[in-house]
Amino acid sequence: MTLESFRMDGKAVVVTGSGRGLGKAMAKALAAVGANLVCAARTPEQIEATVAEIRADGGTAIAVPTDVSKSADVDALVAACVAEYGRIDVMIANAGGGGGQAPAEFFEATDDYFEGVLGTNLKSAFYSDRAASKQMVAQGGGGVIVNVASGTALRGNQQFAYPTAKGGVISLTKSASTMLAKHDIRVNCIVPGYVNQRPPNDEQESEIRRNRGVRVPVRRLGDWWELGPLAVYLASDASRYVTGEIFIIDGAGLAGGLAPVSFAPQHELGAAS
């Protein structure tokens, strides 16, 4: 009974940003439990490769090139899902990006820089959630939306625009969940910490990852495929009583953070003061 709740046979699922990295890993995981995929991203070659891998494993998928920072593109993406599968059951709004280096001084950031980062990371999530929920309600209600934010949203970071946008994604998740509950649409959010987007290219890259991993409480960086089971839990009926929630997957990084991970005070009991 519990195991069956993780199955997604015949469900129509859109994953944005699924040409590589975490989006690709989630798309492949969802296909592995029976979902029919629509893989979206700007670069056609990458999503076509994801589709080819899903099909090679016996799954069903199509590629729809999409710029998620344009609402008309996102509306067309959902329409393409409906044209192919007759409906949409799940939207994984994963697409996003860093937006380049922030200026060294906060007050030197330009309008274009800030708006560009918001467009890619926050407006894109709104466009995706809006287009998906509109279709879900039109087809009779029920559905699942999963947004993808970032651990940087929950701590300060000098890239400031990206964490600000991702913080908006978390708030969007909570507020959208309150408005969509009456339509039986659940909205949740994945918050990844430091996660490798792909296997290392060489030993040097492996070494860099090992050294960075020492600063994470579980003593390693995460890997792309680790998003797969979480996406399956959140997209399926297994999470039917969960909405508005953020799911942090960060090797316990955000649970700590008051000191470097190697810091462990040693102090015997004295007198209370």
Rounded to a whole number of angstroms, the minimum distance from the CB of residue 244 to another protein is 3
Q: Which helix (H) or strand (E) holds 29?
A: helix 21-32
Q: Which two tokens stand for residue 97?
A: 């990006």
Q: Is 137 in the site for another protein (CB under 8 A)?
A: no
Distance of alpha carbon 272 from alpha carbon 23, whole angstroms: 52
Residue type present at position 198? R
Number of residues that this document lists for the chain: 273
Rounded to a whole number of angstroms, the minimum distance from the CB of residue 229 to another protein is 4
Residues 147-186 close enough to bind another protein by CB under 8 A: 174, 177-178, 181
Place of tokens 């890619």: 120
What is the number of helices (H) and of strands (E) in the chain? 8, 9
Q: Is 239 in the site for another protein (CB under 8 A)?
A: yes
Rounded to a whole number of angstroms, the minimum distance from the CB of residue 23 to another protein is 16
List residues with catalytic annotation.
162
* CB of 107 or CB of 241, closer to another protein: 241
Binding flags for another protein, 88-107, as an x/- string (CB under 8 A): --------------------
Shortest CA distance to 234 belongs to which of 65, 76, 35?
Answer: 35
Which residues does residue 195 pair with via DSSP β-bridges, in sequence order?
222
Distance of alpha carbon 97 from alpha carbon 99, whole angstroms: 6
Residues 29-88 close enough to bind another protein by CB under 8 A: 29, 32-33
Rounded to a whole number of angstroms, the minimum distance from the CB of residue 8 to another protein is 10
Residue type present at position 253? G
Q: Where are the alpha helices (DSSP H) in 57-192?
A: 71-85, 111-118, 124-138, 161-180
Residues 178-237 close enough to bind another protein by CB under 8 A: 178, 181, 193, 195, 216-220, 222-223, 225-226, 228-230, 232-233
In the complex, the residues that contact another protein under the rule CB under 8 A are 1-3, 5-6, 29, 32-33, 174, 177-178, 181, 193, 195, 216-220, 222-223, 225-226, 228-230, 232-233, 238-245, 247-252, 254-256, 261, 264
